[in-house]
Structure 1
Amino acid sequence: MSIEPGRLLPLIAHPGGRSPVTCEYRCGNACAHEAPNPSDNEYFGDVVKDVVSRRGALKAGAVLAATAGGFAALSGTAAAAEATAAATAGHHPRPGRPVPGTDFDPVPPNKFDAVTTPQGYGQSVVIRWGDAVVPGAPKFDFRNQTAAAQAKQFGYNNDFVGLIPQDPLGIRNLLVVNHEYTTEVHLFPADQYDPKNPTEEQAKIAWAAHGLSVVQTFRDPVFGALRTVPSPLNRRITLDTEFEVRGPAAGSKFLKTSADPSGRKVRGTQNNCSGGVTPWGTVLSGEENFHQYFANADKVTDPGDPSAATRLKRYAIGTGESTRKWERFDKRWDVAREPNEPNRFGWVVEIDPHDPHSTPIKHTALGRFKHEAANVKITKDGRVAVYSGDDERFEYIYKYVSKGKYKKGDSAHARRHNSGLLDDGTLYVGKFTGNSPGEIDGTGKLPSDGEFDGTGSWIPLASGDKSFVDGFSAEEVYVFTRQAADKAGATKMDRPEDIEPNPVNGRIYAALTNNTDRGAAGKAGADEPNPRNGNKNGHVLEWDEDNGDSASLTFSWRLLLVCGDPKTADTYFGGFPKEQVSPISCPDNVAFDRHGNLWISTDGNTLGANDGLFSVPVDGPERGHVKQFLSVPVGAETCGPVVTDNLVLVAVQHPGENAASSANPTSHWPDGGTAQPRPAIVSVWKKGFFGLAGRIGVR
């Protein structure tokens, strides 16, 4: 299919974003409820104050000098739906040769029920919901599902994608995928599923559709496609898989339940959103919107723990019946009967895909909140730093630094050693200060210095059994991290999502998806790191740890992108000419190619088009030149992504979820015809001479 010029969408903002069904099943209608952060932390967008850390204080002059010095190196204010030359009509000429990795004709905004890629690129589905993962998996049958079958099949609503090479050329790889959530009104035929009265078997099917999949893959070195192959390494992890609780909060009284009086074994993982591949070859996965699965938090009354109800509310744990009604079939979802069960979710989990018999781990030293990923950078002295965001309005950005040092290699011994580093270290929360006093008015207008920038510090929360937060024990800091960060005075951010270090320039990049409550009555107003009130399109933040060292407690930051329609005054693209960029809304997951270009996937585009994947150089004269590489089908979100020299992988999540149920699908991707939509992983490659695979973004 080619894109006809007459079908291009006008690049004007209008109401859009996630469908009501997605909001209900993915995050429990979080944005329709009061944001659970009631703290009155001050924000510093308009006032340059001393940046205080446990090691000392930097006066305002030093703060400004660090800001200038930290960025001195920056120089620059179901068949494939293939875009034709006509698709680029209206794009202005480039000012110079594109940066390697970004040399392709951008895909324009569209509403096609297909994955749309640039001209000259091929694509194929790698694996879809219901496809076989482990031996004995039956062929997928939408109308005749069972929990036993789903436990052997690829799960639902794929999100994070990790690709772990098993040879120097990346021909054999392990594919690790998160299955974030289930949408029961699409998971089952409409005539079989009653949202008010689900069956126990339907609940168990949903439990099996959560978690992760590990699948062996083979990349065709000649023609480019990625496909799955049978392997003893293939594995499903579900809500019935046993996890080991490790770190300083393991065995805490707050983690003990009737099923696990030790507080050291948890059944399953859920709402696994983004993640990261560690330098030692394991996968870290963040448990995000776990709150929505629980019921009856309003019935918790514990005279021995008067703070219990407040803690549940701070994490927005569900009151009354849950949407999915799981509490009818297992009391662990009923907080009135198991008040500690919600405390056993909201962690960073670690999976060893090289050992299908290994027990997955929940790492308590990294804190408990709605984790959006966890990504690793090695400090200058060889320790491990881990970055993670708390994906909710007005929540925080965190860093963890290990006590011990990283051991190179991916042997079983090295993996065990390095995994242990995540259990003994210091957990920090971020404080961001702007350097343009009095100039941030909430409209997105740039300050007089021409950019949104400033400095920041990492506030220590706990290390081992020592708490740095008055009134909190160490175990309370780890289990109730949000409240500890409130007390510490962290900066409220606009939904911090995926955070990753750039392997080329060393800076850290964070996607902040949106926050329409910014500046609302009684809510925190705009500040320099979050410069727009009613922020519906989000922004991308970058920072440089002082001395380029992730062990540092101070950093300088700036906004790379302020997203939205480039025709509007409240957008910013790293100083690049706005008339030459692709519109982008609601950044979510991020990744890097080997050239250091940032790749951004979006979730909930408010500009009236399908979500997509975008590339953007972060240095040089092309800094901020956003180009759309692909778009996903109707109703879908773009997740993943993975970008290599030869391959791009994206997870197409919840296609067709803008329909009320499976009765009248709005999408038939990826199988076409009248088929029900199925979340799936897609591989994209460049078609070279004679059909041979070429290099991504290189002419």
Structure 2
Amino acid sequence: MTDSNSPVPYGDDASADFDHEDSNRSSNRHFNDILTTQLKRRQLLKGGLGLAVAGGLFAHAGWLGAAPPHASGKPGLGHGFPGKPGRPIELGFTAIAASRVDDIVVPPEYTFDVILPWGTPILGDYPAYLDGGHNSGVDQEQQIGMHHDGMHYFPLSPSPVHGSRHGLLVMNHEYIDQRAMHASGPTLVDGVRDADEVRKEIAAHGVSVVEIREHRGRWEVVRGRFNRRVTAATPMEIRGPARSHVKMRTAYSPDGTRTRGTHNNCAHGFTPWGTYLTCEENFAGYYVNRGERPREHGRYGVATGNGRYRWETVEPRYDATPGIGEATSDFRNEPNTQGWITEINPFRPGSTPVKHTAMGRFAHEGIVFAKPGPGRPLVAYMGDDAQNEYIYKYVSRENYIPGRAGSHLLDDGTLYAARFNDDGHGEWLPLDIDDAGFRAAADAAGVAFSDQGDVVINARLAADVAGATPMDRPEWGAVDPNNGWVYFTLTNNSQRGNSSEVDEANPRGPNPYGHIIRFLEDGGRHDSATFTWDIFLLSGTESDSLGPDGNPLTADNIHASPDGLWFDANGLLWIQTDMSGSQLASGPFGNNQMLVANPATGQIKRFLSGPNVCEVTGVVATPDHRTLFVNIQHPGEGGGGSSWPGNVLRPRSATVVVRRRDGGIVGT
């Protein structure tokens, strides 16, 4: 999703593109400028993306999206699953056609079920979902939230067999559709929202933890002790360099160590020690500041008029307008407590979630860890999902030690932003107050940071002054388990102009279709300061795209706006799309979809298509890789003609369970 600097008028379509604001006013050279240099050198921009070179894009690599060498040095081979290294991987399913059917479409070799739609009771009194928006705020606090997004499956048994039949499914709920949520739409009387409606909307945000079990071939909710809702009202602890910072102090937490709630939870991550990370993306639009906006508001798009849902009319913490007294007397700093990576322990339902500020404050799409190496730092990659923002890396100061690793590794480390160079190489720029190069860059730009807490609160500004490369909405990341290449989706960018504003890593201006970039850290070490990069694929139509094999995409795999990204244990890359507007309504791509790519062979096929106006987002498998969970978000949003998942007055986000008819491994 996206954030503009202007508020969304009350009652406007909840799908308005308010979250992908372009507030970057730095003069940093855009990724498109870099990529254009390389594309022109390869003569790939003749009348668009003419395919003058079949051998690939970059001289340093010699291919566009072709198979990189694996650790074994043998290209074109995957690991296989389970435990069969070197076995070639084939996408063993029939590619489905682009679809406009208001339902899930999967290959004929597969079947699917639907579970956990919005409003499913999971704890407390287990209040039933009342179709037509008649549930209360108290009900919603005990039910699955709205607009499912990123998720992870935690098995409840170490056995691959039993753990694949019984576990915890933990999922994000990104935002809400007010018209679908309330019986008669949102209520506003004399400029004030109805208090229970606001309570319900706050409760529909956040994260659901739900115990599920397969019983007679169907997955069902277990009324277990782990079930939990973490919402936009849940108390949170603040850790890392911004803890107790003067810019984090509020009337709720005068010492700046606590806050309430997690907002606009998009993608996610999971730690090597078995906890869930929810990522706060487009938080700024929930707040309003009608006074002077400091840089930590303006650079992030905090509204100057009404907040996104007008919660500030009921909940004072959403009004960030400075008062007369100290910051501890009002909520001027409340937006600064949002936009972080938040850790939730799904196995301790009474534990307090923790916001880890060392990893920076921005519109976090998700977080993905490199495979941790004993005695090496823990490394994570993150994207800032807004137009012309950055890709980040976090490297822990302490080394990862199995059995001793824990959340302390997320509180002390170095945050970096990526710079992509014309020659297919790049470097990580430290955003560290103790780094002489960073201090010199800040001084040269006339920007002052008081301490590291100030740096991470203003991570976007820090990346500006460091000289990072603005990108086309960096969204989900994924790390290839076979060779360590790191992939990021760059969903699209309608705000970038013609070829004078493009670069090697963002090759089109404007970029309506998006693309996927990847990079390999030098020396094979994820904590390296430099890397090599290329473009994995350029999304688009059959006449305006380049696939992983260096050839145009075909009817089996054309797509636009790649968003969700996930590697399975085989090294197959699952790609989910988030098209909107005219592309979704009348383009050649059909409804939003999920594809599977094999980076080792360049093969890519369309695997799943979703119902009308939905986003396909969030995917994870059971340990045995025989069950796939896929989230479907906002079907029929804005009156988009959907009744999914069927027999309902209003469409509902839900989770789809996909399996092979023969019980085999999904994808292969």
Could you state the TM-score of these two structures normalised by the residue count of structure 1? 0.80
1:633 aligns with 2:611: yes
| CA spacing shift, 1:582–1:199, aligned 2, 3 Å | same
5 Å matches for 1:469-484?
469=439, 470=442, 471-472=448-449, 473-484=451-462
- Residue 219 of structure 1, aligned match among 214, 219, 229: 214
| CA spacing shift, 1:634–1:480, aligned 2, 3 Å | same
- Residue 148 of structure 1, aligned match among 132, 138, 157: 138
| CA spacing shift, 1:489–1:285, aligned 2, 3 Å | same
- Residue 572 of structure 2, aligned match among 572, 576, 597: 597
1:284 corresponding residue in structure 2: 277
Q: CA offsets per residue over residues 521-576 of structure 1, 9 Å max, x none? A: xx9711110001110111011111111111101111111110011x2134343414
5 Å matches for 1:436-585?
454-462=424-432, 468-469=438-439, 470=442, 471-472=448-449, 473-519=451-497, 525-565=501-541, 567-576=542-551, 578-579=553-554, 581-585=556-560
State the Cα distance separating 1:280 from its structure 2 match: 1.3
**For residues 524 and 254 of structure 1, what CA distance do their matches in structure 2 show?**
39
- Residue 657 of structure 2, aligned match among 659, 683, 686: 683
| CA spacing shift, 1:218–1:407, aligned 2, 3 Å | farther
| Alpha carbons 1:379, 1:550 under 8 Å: kept | no
2:591 corresponding residue in structure 1: 610
State the Cα distance separating 1:138 from its structure 2 match: 0.7
**For residues 524 and 133 of structure 1, what CA distance do their matches in structure 2 show?**
53
**For residues 694 and 432 of structure 1, what CA distance do their matches in structure 2 show?**
41
| CA spacing shift, 1:36–1:559, aligned 2, 3 Å | same
**For residues 307 and 571 of structure 2, what CA distance do their matches in structure 1 show?**
43
| Alpha carbons 2:614, 2:633 under 8 Å: kept | yes
Counterpart amino acid of residue 531 in structure 2: F
| CA spacing shift, 1:110–1:427, aligned 2, 3 Å | same
| CA spacing shift, 1:492–1:574, aligned 2, 3 Å | farther
State the Cα distance separating 1:311 from its structure 2 match: 3.3
**For residues 643 and 20 of structure 1, what CA distance do their matches in structure 2 show?**
40
| CA spacing shift, 1:511–1:46, aligned 2, 3 Å | closer
Aligned-residue RMSD, C-alpha: 2.7
**For residues 12 and 425 of structure 2, what CA distance do their matches in structure 1 show?**
34
Counterpart amino acid of residue 106 in structure 1: A
1:588 aligns with 2:577: no
5 Å matches for 1:99-114?
100=89, 102-114=91-103
Identical positions, percent: 35
Counterpart amino acid of residue 309 in structure 2: R
Counterpart amino acid of residue 171 in structure 1: R
| Alpha carbons 1:182, 1:210 under 8 Å: kept | yes
- Residue 329 of structure 1, aligned match among 310, 314, 331: 314
| Alpha carbons 1:253, 1:263 under 8 Å: kept | yes
1:93 corresponding residue in structure 2: none
Structure 1 portions without partners, runs of 5+: 1-18, 49-63, 77-97, 302-307, 436-453, 660-664
1:39 aligns with 2:33: no
Counterpart amino acid of residue 120 in structure 2: D
Q: CA offsets per residue over residues 454-494 of structure 1, 9 Å max, x none? A: 11110000278999343323121110100010000100100
| CA spacing shift, 1:515–1:289, aligned 2, 3 Å | same
1:695 aligns with 2:665: yes
| Alpha carbons 2:13, 2:638 under 8 Å: kept | no
**For residues 27 and 383 of structure 1, what CA distance do their matches in structure 2 show?**
40
Q: CA offsets per residue over residues 312-352 of structure 1, 9 Å max, x none? A: 22101111112311111111111214221111100011111
| CA spacing shift, 1:65–1:474, aligned 2, 3 Å | farther
State the Cα distance separating 1:673 from its structure 2 match: 3.1
**For residues 21 and 612 of structure 1, what CA distance do their matches in structure 2 show?**
31
Q: CA offsets per residue over residues 420-442 of structure 1, 9 Å max, x none? A: 1000011100001122xxxxxxx
| Alpha carbons 1:101, 1:595 under 8 Å: kept | no
| Alpha carbons 2:36, 2:507 under 8 Å: kept | no
1:468 alignment partner, SS class:
helix
1:360 aligns with 2:346: no
State the Cα distance separating 1:120 from its structure 2 match: 2.6
| CA spacing shift, 1:125–1:46, aligned 2, 3 Å | closer
State the Cα distance separating 1:191 from its structure 2 match: 5.8
1:397 aligns with 2:391: yes
1:173 alignment partner, SS class:
strand
Counterpart amino acid of residue 411 in structure 2: D
1:162 corresponding residue in structure 2: 152
1:655 aligns with 2:635: yes
| CA spacing shift, 1:219–1:505, aligned 2, 3 Å | farther
| Alpha carbons 2:611, 2:642 under 8 Å: kept | yes
1:420 alignment partner, SS class:
helix
2:138 alignment partner, SS class:
helix
| CA spacing shift, 1:357–1:23, aligned 2, 3 Å | same
| CA spacing shift, 1:549–1:580, aligned 2, 3 Å | farther
| Alpha carbons 2:96, 2:107 under 8 Å: kept | yes
| Alpha carbons 1:636, 1:653 under 8 Å: kept | yes
**For residues 544 and 260 of structure 2, what CA distance do their matches in structure 1 show?**
49
| CA spacing shift, 1:262–1:27, aligned 2, 3 Å | farther
Counterpart amino acid of residue 341 in structure 2: V
Question: Which stretch of the first structure deviates more once superposed, 38-47 or 141-150?
Answer: 38-47
1:573 alignment partner, SS class:
coil
| CA spacing shift, 1:579–1:678, aligned 2, 3 Å | closer
| Alpha carbons 1:426, 1:464 under 8 Å: kept | no
| Alpha carbons 1:290, 1:345 under 8 Å: kept | yes
Counterpart amino acid of residue 176 in structure 1: V
| Alpha carbons 1:466, 1:474 under 8 Å: kept | no
**For residues 577 and 20 of structure 1, what CA distance do their matches in structure 2 show?**
41
| CA spacing shift, 1:524–1:248, aligned 2, 3 Å | farther
1:547 alignment partner, SS class:
helix
5 Å matches for 1:279-358?
279-295=272-288, 297=289, 299-301=290-292, 308-337=293-322, 338-358=331-351
| Alpha carbons 1:505, 1:596 under 8 Å: kept | no
| CA spacing shift, 1:464–1:678, aligned 2, 3 Å | farther
1:646 corresponding residue in structure 2: 626
2:48 corresponding residue in structure 1: none
**For residues 516 and 572 of structure 1, what CA distance do their matches in structure 2 show?**
21
| CA spacing shift, 1:552–1:465, aligned 2, 3 Å | closer
State the Cα distance separating 1:21 from its structure 2 match: 11
| CA spacing shift, 1:524–1:420, aligned 2, 3 Å | farther
1:407 corresponding residue in structure 2: 401
1:206 alignment partner, SS class:
helix
1:121 corresponding residue in structure 2: 110
| Alpha carbons 2:14, 2:638 under 8 Å: kept | no
Q: CA offsets per residue over residues 240-285 of structure 1, 9 Å max, x none? A: 1111100011000010111110111010101010011222111111
**For residues 98 and 59 of structure 2, what CA distance do their matches in structure 1 show?**
41
1:578 alignment partner, SS class:
coil
State the Cα distance separating 1:193 from its structure 2 match: 4.1
**For residues 500 and 227 of structure 2, what CA distance do their matches in structure 1 show?**
47
| CA spacing shift, 1:498–1:186, aligned 2, 3 Å | same
| CA spacing shift, 1:545–1:425, aligned 2, 3 Å | same
**For residues 287 and 23 of structure 1, what CA distance do their matches in structure 2 show?**
23
